[in-house]
Structure 1
Amino acid sequence: MMKYMSKLISGILIAVFSMGVVAQTKLPPGWQSTLVKVTSDGKLVYYPDKQGNTIPDFSRVGYHHGDISIPHYPITKIVYPIENGDNRQHIQNAIDEISRMEPDKTGHRGTILLKRGVYHIYGSIRITVSGIILMGEGENINETRLLAKGTERFTLIQVNGSGRIEEIPGTRTKITDTFVPVGTHSFHVSSSSNYKVGDRIIVYRPGTQNWIHDIKMDQIVERKGTRQWTAQEYNLSFEREIVKIEGNCIYIDNPIVMQMDEKYGGGEIFKYTFAGRISEVGIANMCLESEFEHYEDNHHAWIGVQFDKVENCWARNLTCRYFGYAAVSCERYAKNVTVANCRCLETKSIITGGLRYSFNNWGQQNLFMNCQSTEGRHDYVTGARVCGPNVFYNCTAFQTYADIGPHHRWAVGTLYDNIITDGEINVQDRGQMGSGHGWAGVTQVLWNCRAKRAAVQNPWTSGNNYNIGMKGQKYPGHFTNRPEGIWEGQNELNVFPRSLYIAQLMARHKNMDLLILMK
């Protein structure tokens, strides 16, 4: 563990210095938000609003919550490209062979190295068991290059477990607090007798009709195809782990990212299992490409890498070119996935709704960092009813055709940290857009981003959205009569700390002094 921590802290230091977080003599003293500050003695302090809500701690995302580095293992099997033929089965056979091996104590079965060369692939490569790493010798087109061929939409590399979340009968317990604010790590329950430290639980926030009515999502101005929201669609399940119990007070690893209010049904917890979920799968160091016939071709490979029903997995150092939808997509049951140093370049599909979501997230506690996108629409985006926390950190998007941000139907708890785009970043009521997108999200935090312009609105009830230190134009949004979100430090030159995610991660690992950011 200490070895992993040492690597992690070293990586953070490199990131901090390379981003220029260390103060420069020509810059004025750092500007700080009133909501979260680094104090003179180097502590990260949060300032609650009148209800007790704070900006939450987003640091426990990605592979093993950011507590250990992505591991390196020796090569188990080497695969060479077949020059004239389909390499899919060739690679799949190697994966299947490793899948039959017993995992070691870390959960690792084996690492497959795809040697430099071009691999023609017809159809999807599938990884369905834990502990397999598929890696190449580099992400340049002249290194390890997988070329997806054919005229059907498919995912080039699928990493999918099986099963679903199953509630353990008899464990559901009512949260007794009349109000649980955003940012807290604890709450009281009617009885903690069924629980112990280490239990995995669902923090359940029910959808209720009076809540739907109060956020006016049963009153969406209709056009053809518009669906009003219904309560049963908005039962939200946040995956958490118990870290401490004091009497009937439960402490959890990741914070509450949406208010739980007694008048809207409060909340409950229950234990769960997910037997088919897989882990410790990595995809790295490759160039993934799709064949295409023309710029708006909709019939070719669609996604580079897709994760679902997984936890503690990663994709890194991938260059994805010409796909129709996404470079990497984390689906509903993808949890604690790190997507790092990946590129989604020159997307090929019609420029319209539902297409070109370069880095797409529907899961929980996922981290997208140091990624790049060109010619996308929604480059860093979440879907409907996404339960955070999730983080997009230090990413860029250029030649973009739409906006970055929560796309529709109430994504909860996302940090957009140091995102740079030549387009827009929006958090707003999307109303009748699509089939009735409505409120895109709550507890959406933009920190030190740069955009052409941004709209950040607050929903009518149940929380806030934030834009802290953005460089760019402020505009009202698609609907101009909505409550304004919380804005601070627009166009400030020296936002401090430059990265909220890095500052929170460093503060959590107490052997790292936040004052290093100020020197």
Structure 2
Amino acid sequence: MSDKKVGYYRGIAFTTDNIRFLMKHQSIFSLLILSLSALLFSFINDNGAWTSRFLNVNKNGSITYHPDEKGNTIPDFSAVGYHHGLKEIPELAVVKTLNPVNGDAGNMIQKAIDELSALPADANGHRGAILLTKGTYAIAGTLNIEAGGIVLRGAGTGTEGTRLIASGKGLRSLLKIRGKGKITEIPGTRVQITDKYVPTGAKSFKISNTKGLKSGDKIILFRPGTDNWIHDLKMDQIEAREGTKQWTGADYNLSYEREIVKIQGNTVFIDNPVVMAMDQQYGSGNIFKYEYKGRIQEVGIENMLFESEYASDTDEDHGWIAVDFDHIENGWVTGVTSRFFGYACVSLDGGAKNITVKDSKCLDAKSVITGGKRYSFNNNGQQNLFMDLETTEGRHDYVTGAKTCGPNVFYNCKSRNTHADIGPHHRWASGTLYDNIDTDGEINVQDRGNWGSGHGWAGVTQVIWNCKVKSAAIQNPWVSGKNYAIGLQGKKLAGRLKDKPDGEWEGQGQKGLQPVSLFQAQLRARELKK
């Protein structure tokens, strides 16, 4: 009886007699199966796609996070930006229209801002938009927006657009948007977190008493600074030089703004994750309700070009920041370009929360190329989103400062001719995602030692996802968390100081990371939960 063919695999014909033989000789059969499995695996992965060991996206779009031995995971960064990304940036109706004038236009624009500020806001907190028609507007001083619900809108950034010029001399912000006040604890509301350890990535924890708390309450997740934590972090042992300040626990109390979404028994659920573990050996933590009297909301800057006059490439007596935010919640900057400023296109100070900055450029800064200059898109606030941005001739192009509390996100941003590194600049920023950053310079997360006045550990829970760089140093601090370099294209650096713990590196130089964008995947996963 002749062999009967039953199938092919990669050109190999399998017959009934072949199969009888292989079943008789099981060890040979097992080896062949293993070989065929390996071949099949390589075939499936011919496109080079791979996933991280820290998480995977399921078929339905949800995400499974893989915890470490302490339960820490990469956090969910999706609830950042204007209204946590739950609302679209609104299109406010134009209520005032201004045209270019000869000479200084600052008084005219400020008068329009003040008049609009005096009008009542609608139910959404909006007052309306001031439209600056195409042309050039010289501003000798600073424009100030100190009331919510106001949009300053131009006609675009091109030759037929709206051009605001920081004219003459004077180191200053061209446009300041700021309320006033600060985080103020409501007396009698502070309660202790009772879990011995609340891991990074957690959105719930147990507290000693839930009396007086409810869904919708705004709370501070308070992580105290303690001297034993500073000692274990070795930040009381910075190699000293002139001006070096050792860290002390009292200077490192961290206040994370959160909202309660649910309470079950003594367990509180919050809207944004823990981005630095709450550890009982370092004082555990508390929550308390808070107020921020004077903070404004719903201010937007749209579609205009900001330029600064300057005397030379190293001049520093001219426009410094184009758009400067503080004491504001739920605002936006869209479609703006700055040129020739010494510091930043957009700078968000510590009181700026839930701001979206997108589709904007910071070009051709003019200053001495040294410390404290050219922080193109600067963030010291919380839950802010920077996306689809470009820079040239910057230093720290996408950057956070001291004790910046996350989550915060820089997504899909490009830098060219950069003169320093991207990343947390100094003194313990926590919870930042750098997602699809493309730079011809460096991204670094490291112990900066005695640079500045003692920068020390720059940050923790800094996630560098699918970024393209010239080189990068990503290190883990001695205690209290990890930093991640996942799918990074570029050279790995040892960092400024020797013998520091290596960060969590995965897939260096390996293309095909899935998901391509962690931020976008987390947004999609959040949509599934609605």
TM range (shorter): over 0.9
Find the counterpart in structure 2 of residue 488 from structure 1.
506
- 2:50 partner SS: coil
Equivalent runs, 1:499-510 vs 2, <5 Å: 499-510=517-528
Equivalent runs, 1:109-258 vs 2, <5 Å: 109-258=127-276
Find the counterpart in structure 1 of residue 58 from structure 2.
39
The match for 1:30 among 36, 44, 49 is 49
Find the counterpart in structure 1 of residue 350 from structure 2.
332
**Residue 35 of structure 1 aligns to which amino acid in structure 2?**
F
**Residue 406 of structure 2 aligns to which amino acid in structure 1?**
G
Distance in 1 of aligned mates of 2:505 and 2:529? 32
Equivalent runs, 1:13-412 vs 2, <5 Å: 28-82=47-101, 84-412=102-430
Distance in 1 of aligned mates of 2:85 and 2:504? 28
Equivalent runs, 1:425-440 vs 2, <5 Å: 425-440=443-458
Per-residue displacement from partner, 1:8-36 (whole Å, max 9, x unpaired)? xxxxxxxxxxxxxxxxx997152100101
**Residue 120 of structure 2 aligns to which amino acid in structure 1?**
E
Per-residue displacement from partner, 1:159-210 (whole Å, max 9, x unpaired)? 0001111110000000000000000000000000120100000000000000
- Does the CA-based 8 Å contact 2:335-2:360 persist in structure 1? yes
1:455 aligns with 2:435: no
TM-superposed CA distance for 1:40, in Å, is 3.6
Task: Kindly tell me the number of residue pairs found equivalent between the two proteins.
Answer: 487
TM-superposed CA distance for 1:230, in Å, is 0.9
Per-residue displacement from partner, 1:46-105 (whole Å, max 9, x unpaired)? 0000000000000000000011110112211100111x2110110011111111111111
- Does the CA-based 8 Å contact 1:141-1:287 persist in structure 2? no
- Does the CA-based 8 Å contact 2:61-2:528 persist in structure 1? no
TM-superposed CA distance for 1:420, in Å, is 0.4
TM-superposed CA distance for 1:475, in Å, is 1.2
TM-superposed CA distance for 1:300, in Å, is 0.2
- Does the CA-based 8 Å contact 2:61-2:521 persist in structure 1? no
TM-superposed CA distance for 1:253, in Å, is 0.1
User: Taking structure 2 as the reference length, what is the TM-score of the superposition?
Assistant: 0.91
Range 252-261 or range 136-145, more displaced = 136-145
**Residue 370 of structure 1 aligns to which amino acid in structure 2?**
D
- 1:76 partner SS: strand
Identity among equivalent positions (%) equals 57
**Residue 63 of structure 1 aligns to which amino acid in structure 2?**
Y
Per-residue displacement from partner, 1:204-252 (whole Å, max 9, x unpaired)? 0000000000000000001111110011110000000000000110000
Range 472-481 or range 451-460, more displaced = 472-481
- 2:497 partner SS: coil
- 2:345 partner SS: strand
Distance in 1 of aligned mates of 2:291 and 2:142? 28
- Does the CA-based 8 Å contact 1:302-1:324 persist in structure 2? yes
- 2:281 partner SS: helix
CA 1:87–1:35: 2 relative to 1, 3 Å:
same
CA-atom RMSD, angstroms? 1.2
Find the counterpart in structure 2 of residue 497 from structure 1.
515
- Does the CA-based 8 Å contact 2:61-2:524 persist in structure 1? no
**Residue 491 of structure 1 aligns to which amino acid in structure 2?**
G
Distance in 2 of aligned mates of 1:381 and 1:261? 27
| Structure 2 unaligned regions, length at least 5 | 1-43
Range 487-496 or range 343-352, more displaced = 487-496
- 2:426 partner SS: coil
Distance in 2 of aligned mates of 1:470 and 1:80? 48
Equivalent runs, 1:460-479 vs 2, <5 Å: 460-479=478-497
Distance in 2 of aligned mates of 1:212 and 1:403? 25
Mark the structure with the bigger radius of gyration.
2
**Residue 391 of structure 2 aligns to which amino acid in structure 1?**
S
Find the counterpart in structure 2 of residue 7 from structure 1.
none
**Residue 80 of structure 1 aligns to which amino acid in structure 2?**
N
- Does the CA-based 8 Å contact 2:405-2:430 persist in structure 1? yes
CA 1:511–1:247: 2 relative to 1, 3 Å:
closer
**Residue 517 of structure 2 aligns to which amino acid in structure 1?**
S
- Does the CA-based 8 Å contact 2:139-2:164 persist in structure 1? yes
Distance in 2 of aligned mates of 1:38 and 1:322? 43
- Does the CA-based 8 Å contact 1:140-1:319 persist in structure 2? no
CA 1:511–1:460: 2 relative to 1, 3 Å:
closer
Find the counterpart in structure 2 of residue 8 from structure 1.
none
**Residue 249 of structure 1 aligns to which amino acid in structure 2?**
T
Per-residue displacement from partner, 1:417-451 (whole Å, max 9, x unpaired)? 00000000000000001110000000000000000
- Does the CA-based 8 Å contact 2:82-2:332 persist in structure 1? yes
CA 1:291–1:489: 2 relative to 1, 3 Å:
same
**Residue 276 of structure 2 aligns to which amino acid in structure 1?**
M
- Higher relative CO (Cα under 8 Å, sequence separation at least 6) belongs to 1
**Residue 223 of structure 1 aligns to which amino acid in structure 2?**
R
- Does the CA-based 8 Å contact 2:184-2:292 persist in structure 1? yes
Distance in 1 of aligned mates of 2:62 and 2:333? 32
| Structure 1 unaligned regions, length at least 5 | 1-24, 513-519
User: Taking structure 1 as the reference length, what is the TM-score of the superposition?
Assistant: 0.93
- Does the CA-based 8 Å contact 2:180-2:294 persist in structure 1? yes
**Residue 50 of structure 1 aligns to which amino acid in structure 2?**
E
